[in-house]
Amino acid sequence: MSDPAASAYSIDVHGLSKSFGPKRVVDDVSLQVRRGEIFGFLGPNGSGKTTTIRMMCGLLTPDAGSGTCLGFDIRKDPGEIKRRVGYMTQKFSFWDDLSIRENLDFVARLYEMPARKQAVGAALEGLGLASRAKQLAGALSGGWKQRLALAACMLHEPELLLLDEPTAGVDPKARRDFWDELHRLAARGVSVLVSTHYMDEAERCHKLAYIAYGRLMAQGTADEIVGAQGLSTFGVVGGDLDAVSRALVGQPGVDQTAVFGSTLHVTGRDARALEATLRRVTAGTPSQITAAEVSLEDVFIHLMSRSQDNYGAAS
């Protein structure tokens, strides 16, 4: 068994791979998450994020690779890891016919917590659930279900939270409140690994990793990931943006186009060729071209276009 205090990393895994039948769902993924860090895990649906999370916390044994979670070996010490980790799944997994308090009390019993009543009371107060303690979970909105799930994850005071798309289907205010709570937890030293599809959430993470169809495509801070791709973006405003977008397909320097409100973002790796193409295509039209900042969304669309769906080909 590893010494839990020996590493500055909550998660330190190398070369993780996992196959289900003939398909390799995770392929040689290595990640490091520091203690007290919020680490964003991004990628398209079916890219292996959930499988990777489960391997990192000892819920699933990798076919290859090794590492530690909270200083414990992910292969040898899964029981020790599970006791110290809070895991929030994509799907709400509590009991609709129990109240908020009853759900939390049941979870506290599962953890065999000696001061169960006090722990449940603290969780209700800490996440603003006390006034709704008697409300049935099945009657809660998405945002309140999310709070209940987070309260249940935090009952045993874990050192690491693994959150699998926790804000899917939740309104913007509830998402913001949830992220404010995550930053408060991180400030107390709790590490957070969170998978998300929302770019505004990704920008609130200390570091990010992007996985596409089982392969790790990029890792680092948001600025590092954007800078490493060497992309340039121009904005086009005015005129028939749909026609401009269609005319740009397959043209020199153009890797991707996407409309953001009233602006067409055009991105590519060769800035000079890209600008020349834009000026040629928009000549004689009311469209105006300006240099724009490359966004995380530009980068992740670019990364996704470079990745190959590991379920796309027949085995």
For the chain, the domains span 9-225, 232-293
Q: Tell me: the pLDDT tens digits for 62-84?
A: 999 999 999 999 999 999 998 89
Structure tokens at 21: 């039948």
CATH of domain 9-225: 3.40.50.300
At position 24, the amino acid (one-letter code) is R
pTM here is 0.84
Percent over 90 (pLDDT), the chain: 56
Q: Tell me: the pLDDT tens digits for 14-66?
A: 999 999 999 999 999 999 999 999 999 998 888 888 899 889 888 899 999 99
Specify which of 83-92, 95-104, 174-183 reaches the highest per-range mean pLDDT: 95-104
Q: Contact, 223 vs 70, CB < 8 A?
A: no
User: Bigger pLDDT: 253 or 7?
Assistant: 253
- Contact residues for 87 (Cβ-Cβ < 8 A; gap 6+): 53, 57, 59, 153, 161, 162, 164
Query: Helices 142-154 and 172-187: crossing angle, nearest 10°?
Result: 20
Q: Which of the following CATH numbers is that of domain 232-293: 3.20.20.140, 3.30.70.100, 1.10.10.60, 3.40.190.10?
A: 3.30.70.100
Please report where in the chains the tokens 């026609």 appear, as a residue: 243
The answer for 65, left when phi > 0, alpha when psi is -120 to 50, beta otherwise, is left
Sheet hosting strand 72-73, strand order edge to edge = 23-34, 9-20, 64-69, 72-73
Q: Which residues of 17-50 are buried (b: 16+ CB within 10 A; e: fewer)?
A: bbbeeeebbbbebebbbbbbbbbbbbbbeebbbb
C-alpha distances (whole Å) from 305 to each of 1, 214, 227, 309 are 42, 14, 18, 10
Asked whether the predicted pLDDT for residue 307 surpasses 60, the reply is yes
**Which helix (H) or strand (E) element contains residue 97?**
none
Asked whether the predicted pLDDT for residue 91 surpasses 70, the reply is yes
